[in-house]
């Protein structure tokens, strides 16, 4: 349960600009502000002061979704800590933080504009880039491998309450409650996941949070970071690629190729010594997250065709209680491809 009384209200952008001026990030001249699209959990602005461009991010206490969904704004500090950690070994993979103050409730970072595109936006118009999928998988594997069994990170990212608010409850438990026949499976997986402590998890490893340049990708939106179950991140990324395959239908195979590319790159970066039964754990999570992005608190906006949404429901209802996920991600992808092909031919 979130204590709404302890959650601060967002600061007005005019106040933020004055604080950044006081910190020397912005000068005394005219500053223009423009809201940027930032999902459902934050206010994000682009501030322009002459040649200086700065992005400001501020967590919201109530997320912008249909359901009642509250979360602790302290996740803003968690995001800053994740960015600083990754910057220690992959400074190219995260934006530079320009200003942060624990009392402010926001932080400012560099603006990555010209030369960068959003990976989700690319895929929604049908652009398929195996190199980007490989880079995304490899970066995730490197983060997981470097943070594996790190006792200090386990303490500093002991953010299970935040993860529960933003992921376990809103994705798994809500979806299970809306599908009574699957409820026990979702609840058991939620308990298992929250009891797992293996490495640093991003928690929102989605194409919408990856900016792509010619020779670089940059990871954004790290506020759900948690020291826990890496299979969640793997499934989160691969789920979006599966859903794009369903969305585009006729070129489903190309998007499922991205699934294979990302998964192979992840495995190589993580290393076989740490892989264990990740394939099965991620495949089970993948099925649950497929349904969660249709019937959870944060459904994907582009699956507007009810026939496709019903196809997701039928697919998960059939396969989650069965043995498919025991054979791993490739088996789930193969069955998904067959479902999409059948749907496309109808």
Task: Tell me the pLDDT tens digit for each residue of 323-340.
Answer: 999 999 999 999 999 999
Q: What integer pLDDT is reported at residue 189 of this predicted model?
A: 98
Provide the pLDDT confidence category of residue 7 given band limits of 50, 70 and 90.
very low
Q: What is the mean pLDDT of residues 230-247?
A: 98
Higher pLDDT, 225 or 41: 225
Q: What integer pLDDT is reported at residue 20 of this predicted model?
A: 87
Reported for 90-96, long-range contacts at CB under 8 A and 24+ positions apart, including other chains, are 90/139, 90/142, 90/143, 92/216, 92/218, 93/139, 93/216, 93/217, 93/218, 93/219, 94/218, 94/219, 94/220, 94/222, 95/55, 95/218, 95/220
Q: What is the mean pLDDT of residues 210-214?
A: 96
Q: What integer pLDDT is reported at residue 280 of this predicted model?
A: 98
Q: Tell me which residue of 85, 82, 107 sits closest to 97, measured CA to CA.
A: 107
Q: What integer best gives the mean pLDDT of the chain?
A: 90
Higher pLDDT, 21 or 177: 177
> Do the Cβ atoms of 342 and 272 come closer than 8 Å?
no
| Cα–Cα distance for residue pair 197/265, rounded to 1 Å | 23
> What is the reported pTM?
0.90
Q: What integer pLDDT is reported at residue 99 of this predicted model?
A: 87
Q: What integer pLDDT is reported at residue 40 of this predicted model?
A: 59
Q: What is the mean pLDDT of residues 90-117?
A: 87
Higher pLDDT, 29 or 133: 133
- For residue 48 the two structure tokens come to 């322009």
Task: Tell me the pLDDT tens digit for each residue of 39-93.
Answer: 556 778 889 887 788 988 887 755 544 554 544 556 788 999 999 999 999 999 9
Give the single-character DSSP code of 287: H
| Cα–Cα distance for residue pair 195/124, rounded to 1 Å | 35
Residue bearing tokens 């195979």:
253
Provide the pLDDT confidence category of residue 143 given band limits of 50, 70 and 90.
very high
Asked if residue 278 has pLDDT above 60, the reply is yes
**Which residue ranges form the domains of the chain, and what is each CATH number?**
4-110 (3.30.200.20), 117-345 (3.90.1200.10)
State how far the alpha carbon of 148 is from the alpha carbons of 122, 198, 206, 249, in Å: 32, 6, 21, 37
Provide the pLDDT confidence category of residue 113 given band limits of 50, 70 and 90.
confident
Asked if residue 169 has pLDDT above 60, the reply is yes
Higher pLDDT, 11 or 168: 168
């Amino acid at each position: 349960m979130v204590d709404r009384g302890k959650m601060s209200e967002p600061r007005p952008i005019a106040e933020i600009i004055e604080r950044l001026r006081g910190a020397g990030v912005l000068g005394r001249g005219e500053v223009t502000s423009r809201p940027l699209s930032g999902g459902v959990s934050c206010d994000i602005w682009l501030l322009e002061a002459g040649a200086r461009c700065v992005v400001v991010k501020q967590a919201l206490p109530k997320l912008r979704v249909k359901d009642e969904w509250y979360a602790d704004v302290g996740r803003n500090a968690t995001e800053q800590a994740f960015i600083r950690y990754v910057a220690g070994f992959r400074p190219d993979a995260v934006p530079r933080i320009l200003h942060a103050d624990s009392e402010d409730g926001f932080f400012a970072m560099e603006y990555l504009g010209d030369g960068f595109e959003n990976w989700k936006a690319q895929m929604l118009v049908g652009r398929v880039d195996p190199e980007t999928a490989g880079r995304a998988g490899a970066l995730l594997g490197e983060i997981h491998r470097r943070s594996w069994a790190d006792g200090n990170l386990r303490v500093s990212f002991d953010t299970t309450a935040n993860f529960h608010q933003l992921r376990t409850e809103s994705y798994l438990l809500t979806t299970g409650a809306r599908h009574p026949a699957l409820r026990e499976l979702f609840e058991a997986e939620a308990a298992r996941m929250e009891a797992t402590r293996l490495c640093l998890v991003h928690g929102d490893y989605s194409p919408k949070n990856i900016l792509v340049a010619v020779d670089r990708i940059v990871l954004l939106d790290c506020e759900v970071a948690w020291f826990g179950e890496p299979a969640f991140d793997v499934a989160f990324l691969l789920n979006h690629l599966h859903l794009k395959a369903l969305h585009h239908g006729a070129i489903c195979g190309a998007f499922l190729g991205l699934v294979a590319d990302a998964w192979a790159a992840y495995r190589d970066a993580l290393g076989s010594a740490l892989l264990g039964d990740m394939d099965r754990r991620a495949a089970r999570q993948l099925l649950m997250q497929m349904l969660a992005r249709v019937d959870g608190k944060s459904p994907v906006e582009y699956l507007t065709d009810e026939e496709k949404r019903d196809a997701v429901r039928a697919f998960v209802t059939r396969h989650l209680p069965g043995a498919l996920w025991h054979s791993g991600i490739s088996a789930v992808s193969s069955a998904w491809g067959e479902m999409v092909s059948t749907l496309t031919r109808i």
